[in-house]
Structure 1
Amino acid sequence: MEKIMIAKLWEIFLMVLVFTGSAQAAADGNMSRGGMRRLAGAPVAPVPITLLTSAVGIGAVCMDGTPPAFHMDPGSGEGKNRWIVHLEGGSWCESLGSCLYRKASRLGSSDLMNKELMYFGGILSSSPAENPDFFSWNRVMIRYCDGASFAGEGYDAGTGLFFRGQRIWNAVMQHLLSIGMSSADQVLLTGSSAGALAVVLHCDQFGAFFAGRDTTVKCLADAGFFLDAVNVAGGRTLRSYFGGVVATHGVAQNLPTSCTDHLNATSCFFPQNIIGGIDTPIFVLNAAYDTWQIRESLAPDGADPSGAWRACKSNRLACNELQMNILQAFRNQMVVTVLRVVSRSRSNGYFINSCFTHGQTENPATWNAYDSPAIQNKTIWKSVGDWYFGRAEVRAIDCAYPCDYTCYHDMEDQLI
Structure 2
Amino acid sequence: MITARLRQWLSLVACVLTVISLKTEGASVGITFLQDAVAKGAVCLDGSPPAYHFDKGSGTGVNNWIVHMEGGGWCEDVETCLSRKKTDLGSSNLMVKQFGFSGLLSSQQKSNPDFYNWNRIKVRYCDGSSFTGDVEAVNPANNLFFRGNRIFEAIIADLLEKGMKNANNAILSGCSAGGLASILHCDRFRALLPATTKVKCISDAGFFIHAKDVSGGQHIENFYSQVAKLHGSVNNLPESCTSRMGTRPELCFFPQYVVQTMQTPIFFINSAYDSWQIKNILAPSAADKGKAWKSCKLDLNKCTPAQLKVIQDFRDEFLLAINGAGVSNSSSMGMFIDSCYAHCQIGKQITWSSDSSPVVGNTKIAKAVGDWYYERSSIKKLDCPYPCNPTCPKVDSESGLDV
TM exceeding 0.5:
yes
For 1:193 and 1:228, the matched residues in 2 are separated by 15
Q: CA deviation at 1:82?
A: 0.4
Distance 1:380 1:18, change over 3 A: farther
What is the rounded CA distance, in whole Å, between the counterparts of 2:102 and 2:133 in structure 1? 29
Aligned residue for 1:324? 308
CA distance in 1, matches of 2:241, 2:219: 21
Aligned to 1:192: 175
Distance 1:242 1:301 in 2: 16
- One-letter amino acid of the structure 2 residue matched with residue 272 of structure 1: Q
Structure 1 counterpart of 2:184: 201
Distance 1:310 1:268, change over 3 A: same
Match status 1:119 vs 2:114:
no
Structure-2 separation of matches of 1:409 and 1:274 = 33
2:395 aligns to what? 410
Q: Which moved more, 1:86-95 or 1:402-411?
A: 402-411
Matched with 2:262 is: 278
Return 5+ residue gaps in structure 2 as ranges.
1-10
Q: Aligned with 1:47: secondary structure?
A: strand
The question of 1:21 aligning with 2:5 is answered: no
Q: Do 2:345 and 2:397's aligned partners in 1 also have CA atoms closer than 8 Å?
A: no
Q: Say yes or no: does 1:145 pair with 2:130.
A: no
1:28-107 residue pairs with structure 2 within 5 A? 45-107=27-89
Query: 1:366-389: CA deviations, max 9, x gaps?
Result: 100012111111110000000000
Q: Following the alignment from structure 2 to structure 1, what is the Cα–Cα distance between the partners of residues 23 and 224?
A: 42
Q: How far did 1:156 drift?
A: 3.3
Cα 1:19–1:44 change in 2 (3 A) is: farther
Deviation (angstroms), 1:340? 2.0
Indicate the SS of the match to 1:392: coil
TM-score normalized by the length of structure 1 = 0.89
* Runs of 4+ in structure 1 over 4 Å off: 16-19, 39-45, 412-415
SS at match of 2:337: strand
C-alpha distance in structure 2 between counterparts of 1:199 and 1:413, whole Å: 19
1:136 paired residue number: 117
The Cα of 1:345 is off from its aligned counterpart by 3.1
Aligned residues of 1:259 and 1:273 also touching (Cα < 8 A):
yes
Alignment partner, residue 210 of structure 1: 193
Structure 2: how far apart are the matches of 1:412 and 1:308?
23
Opposite residue 134 of structure 1, the aligned amino acid is F
- The 1:182/1:19 distance shift into structure 2, 3 A limit, reads farther
Aligned ranges for residues 162-173 of structure 1 at < 5 Å?
162-173=145-156
Q: CA RMSD in A?
A: 1.9
How big is the shift at 1:305? Answer: 1.1
Alignment of 1:307 with 2:307, yes or no, is: no
Deviations 1:26-48 (A, max 9, x none): xxxxxxxxxxxxx9996654100
Q: Does the CA contact (< 8 Å) of 2:342 and 2:398 recur in 1?
A: no
- Check 1:50–1:41 CA distance in 2 against 1; reply closer, same or farther (3 A cut): closer
Match in the other structure for 1:8: none
3-state SS in 2 of match to 1:161: coil
Question: Cα–Cα, structure 1 residues 206 and 409, in superposed 2: closer, same or farther, change >3 Å?
Answer: farther
Q: Which of these two proteins has the greater Rg computed from alpha carbons?
A: 2
Mark the CA change 1:275 to 1:19 in structure 2 (over 3 Å): closer, same or farther: farther
Secondary structure of 2:301's aligned partner? helix
Structure 2 CA distance for aligned equivalents of residues 409 and 287 of structure 1: 14
Percent sequence identity over aligned pairs: 46
| Structure 1 counterpart SS, 2:222 | helix
Residues 383 and 159 of structure 1: CA distance in aligned 2, closer, same or farther (over 3 Å): same
CA distance in 1, matches of 2:332, 2:375: 9
2:343 alignment counterpart = 358
Distance 1:335 1:23 in 2: 44
TM-score, length-normalised on structure 2?
0.92
Query: Measured at CA, do residues 289 and 173 of structure 1 come closer, stay the same or move farther in structure 2, by a change above 3 Å?
Result: same
Work out the CA distance in 1 between the residues paired with 2:379 and 2:353.
Answer: 17
**Residues 375 and 398 in structure 1, CA contact (< 8 A), matched pair in contact too:** yes
Whether 1:386 and 2:371 are equivalent positions in the alignment is yes
- Structure 2: how far apart are the matches of 1:332 and 1:171? 39
Partner of 2:3: none
